[in-house]
Amino acid sequence: MFAEILTVGDELLTGNTVDSNSTFIAQRLTERGYWVRRKTTVGDDVEEIKTVIREILDRKPEVLVISGGLGPTHDDVTMLAVAEALGKRLVLCEECLEKIRTFYERLHREGYIDDPELNEGRRKMAYLPKGAEPLENTEGAAPGAYIEHDGVKIFVLPGMPREMKAMLENEVLPRLGRRKFIQRKLLAEITDESKLAPLLIETLERFNVRIHSSPKGFGKYIGIIIFGENEEEIERAKAFMEGKGVRFEEGW
Amino acid sequence: MFAEILTVGDELLTGNTVDSNSTFIAQRLTERGYWVRRKTTVGDDVEEIKTVIREILDRKPEVLVISGGLGPTHDDVTMLAVAEALGKRLVLCEECLEKIRTFYERLHREGYIDDPELNEGRRKMAYLPKGAEPLENTEGAAPGAYIEHDGVKIFVLPGMPREMKAMLENEVLPRLGRRKFIQRKLLAEITDESKLAPLLIETLERFNVRIHSSPKGFGKYIGIIIFGENEEEIERAKAFMEGKGVRFEEGW
């Protein structure tokens, strides 16, 4: 089960914003048992987004999560690019338009904006690729979209972290089935990461787990993450390594 | 002048580490006048890294910065993947091996490691693609590499942020010429981002600047970044927008 993540936004390519969205999405997909094979970031450009979506679809992931570029401004072009990449038209989602209207009316009532009118930019957000299922945005104006295309589950989410996270939890994850992998972060006390390598490989062969290691400076500790389908298997893998002389501490 | 960034590491794809490295690299490249067109992240897998490097080279950027996977462990395979992608062999860099030896001897003297011996994992770091120029790592063991290939300047840097940053500043940027773009971050007081769009487009047509806008919640402010070759041009663009009724505050 492999997945890809595409984040969209000029601010990510100029270094003005750290792409923590893709980190959050990757974490949630990993927990569900998906292997996130690649993350890509492109700017707010229809042609670029379209090109990279087509490349991703050619690699046939089971899931593609796209985040960013759904807002009301001229450079929010992700939905258009998704539609073009799939050879579909953008069509008005009446139900979405109603929600957008209600959303701006509320902002106006609460004094956040001067004008509740549905101008062109705001209306634009109600257009989704033909055949897409709208995903509810509980935290903002722009709806997301869910499209099954050629065996790939495509989710298009906003870029504002609060909106993206809510939509991922409420609308995306329930469509991906139950939680599958859990992970355990450990610090391995060992003075040379390279000595750990053969032991890790042996552990991987014996147990149904995935293991990542990463150096934590040049001190006595190496960060280890064990992924497994249940706590017991992780515990067995850990005990095996302890039997070979590795000392662990919890967390990092 | 366009550039791409490739970050390598399983921890980036499981959501255990935020990829702040690519943000830092993007920021520095943008300042130098490069347009970072795409960022990609793949795991510690020779085939994946090789594939994505070839795809990037096909797009003919002027600069490709790769970060991550240069360490001593079994899953540090970036240098091998770079070599394979370019059709080159890995060859021993004697000068690098000497520095690695000195580095571990120092760590041993200072009590950080038990064994200063150059085992296989540590020796591995001294192998670079044939023809590559080593890049000095002032903060760690693994050298980086600089390779000109088919018109693309390829820089291979470590993944530990402290090492990557030092190498980027000391070894990469001096090879990319003088600082070119500066940026100014402003908050535009306007209650609807969509109303700003036509004004931004007019400003872009009149002045030699690039502008990014991004919503800051649904309050009265929209984040604006103006990029220009000098302060004066940025100031002129700002004054033009102020003349059209936008109120700015500095920074965000």
Is residue A49 domain-shared with residue A149, that is, in the same domain? yes
Q: In degrees to the nearest 10, what's the CA dihedral of B190, B194, B198, B202?
A: 60
How far is B4 from B59, CA to CA, in rounded Å?
9
**Interface check B11 vs A, CB under 8 A:** yes
How far is B185 from B214, CA to CA, in rounded Å?
11
Q: If we measure between CA atoms, which residue out of B135, B134, B126 comes closest to residue B166?
A: B135
Residue type, A35: W
Is residue B66 domain-shared with residue B88, that is, in the same domain? yes
Longest dimension (CA), chain B: 68
Is residue A148 domain-shared with residue A97, that is, in the same domain? yes
Expressed in angstroms, the distance from the first to the final Cα of chain A is: 28
pLDDT in tens, A196-247: 778 888 999 999 998 888 766 655 678 888 989 889 999 999 999 999 888 8
How far is A153 from A168, CA to CA, in rounded Å?
13
Q: Which of B45, B73, B181 to mutate to test the interface with A (most CBs of A within 10 A)?
A: B73
Is residue B190 domain-shared with residue B158, that is, in the same domain? no
**Interface check B150 vs A, CB under 8 A:** no
- Rounded to the nearest angstrom, the minimum Cα separation between A183 and chain B is 10
pLDDT in tens, A137-151: 999 999 999 999 999
**Interface check A9 vs B, CB under 8 A:** yes
How far is B12 from B79, CA to CA, in rounded Å?
18
Q: What is the 3-state secondary structure (H, E, C) of chain A?
A: CEEEEEEECHHHHCCCCCCHHHHHHHHHHHHCCCEEEEEEEECCCHHHHHHHHHHHHHCCCCEEEEECCCCCCCCCCHHHHHHHHCCCCEEECHHHHHHHHHHHHHHHHCCCCCCCCCCHHHHHCCEEECCCEEECCCCCCCCEEEEEECCEEEEEECCCHHHHHHHHHHHHHHHHCCCCCEEEEEEEECCCHHHHHHHHHHHHHHCCEEEEEEECCCCCEEEEEEEECCHHHHHHHHHHHHHCCCEEEECC
Cross-chain CB nearest to A30 (options B14, B71, B113): B14
**In this predicted model, which residue has the larger pLDDT, B74 or B174?**
B174
Identify the CATH number of the domain in which residue A189 sits.
Answer: 3.30.70.600
pLDDT at B73: 82
Yes or no, beta carbons of A11 and B225 under 8 Å apart: yes
pLDDT at A219: 59
Residue of A nearest to B17 (CA): A23
- Rounded to the nearest angstrom, the minimum Cα separation between B147 and chain A is 23
The domain boundary residue, chosen from B159, B176, B193: B176
Yes or no, beta carbons of A23 and B42 under 8 Å apart: no
pLDDT in tens, B6-64: 999 999 999 999 999 999 999 999 989 899 999 999 999 999 999 999 999 999 999 99
| Range 72-101 of A in CB contact (< 8 A) with B | 72-75
Residue of A nearest to B107 (CA): A218
Is residue A135 domain-shared with residue A244, that is, in the same domain? no
Q: Which residues pair with B162 in a beta bridge?
A: none
Q: Which residues of B touch A168 (CB under 8 A)?
A: none
Q: Could you tell me how far CA A113 lies from the centroid of its own chain?
A: 31
| Range 57-76 of B in CB contact (< 8 A) with A | 71-75
Yes or no, beta carbons of B191 and A140 under 8 Å apart: no
pLDDT at B219: 59
Residue of A nearest to B42 (CA): A38
Is residue A122 domain-shared with residue A10, that is, in the same domain? yes
Residue of A nearest to B141 (CA): A218
Cross-chain CB nearest to A112 (options B27, B36, B219): B219
* Residues B59/B24, Cβ–Cβ less than 8 Å: no
How far is A59 from A44, CA to CA, in rounded Å?
23
Q: Which of A49, A67, A200, A214 to mutate to test the interface with B (most CBs of B within 10 A)?
A: A214
Is residue B138 domain-shared with residue B228, that is, in the same domain? no
Q: What is the ipTM of this complex?
A: 0.89
Yes or no, beta carbons of A37 and B28 under 8 Å apart: no
The domain boundary residue, chosen from B157, B176, B195: B176
Binned at pLDDT 50, 70 and 90, residue B183 comes out as confident
Lowest mean pLDDT among A123-132, B149-158, B184-193: B184-193
Is residue A26 domain-shared with residue A146, that is, in the same domain? yes
**Interface check A105 vs B, CB under 8 A:** no
pLDDT at B26: 97
pLDDT at A250: 84
Low-confidence ranges of chain A (pLDDT < 50): none
**Interface check A138 vs B, CB under 8 A:** no
* Residues A180/A31, Cβ–Cβ less than 8 Å: yes
* Residues A28/A15, Cβ–Cβ less than 8 Å: no
The domain boundary residue, chosen from A150, A176, A202: A176
Is residue A164 domain-shared with residue A204, that is, in the same domain? no
Range of the domain at B95: 2-176
Average pLDDT, chain A: 92
**Interface check A184 vs B, CB under 8 A:** no
**Interface check A183 vs B, CB under 8 A:** yes
Is residue A196 domain-shared with residue A226, that is, in the same domain? yes
Share of chain B above pLDDT 90, in %: 69
Cross-chain CB nearest to A26 (options B14, B28, B112): B14
Highest mean pLDDT (candidates A29-38, B130-139, B213-222): B130-139
Number of domains within chain A: 2
Q: Which residue has the tokens 């791409």?
A: B4
In total, the C-beta contacts within 8 angstroms joining chain A to chain B are 198
Yes or no, beta carbons of A13 and B24 under 8 Å apart: no
- Rounded to the nearest angstrom, the minimum Cα separation between A147 and chain B is 23
Q: Which residues of B touch A107 (CB under 8 A)?
A: 218
- Rounded to the nearest angstrom, the minimum Cα separation between A149 and chain B is 23
Expressed in angstroms, the distance from the first to the final Cα of chain B is: 28
Identify the CATH number of the domain in which residue A163 sits.
Answer: 3.40.980.10
Cross-chain CB nearest to A43 (options B37, B74, B196): B37
Is residue B99 domain-shared with residue B203, that is, in the same domain? no
Q: Which residues pair with A63 in a beta bridge?
A: A3, A153
- Rounded to the nearest angstrom, the minimum Cα separation between A112 and chain B is 6
Is residue A47 domain-shared with residue A33, that is, in the same domain? yes
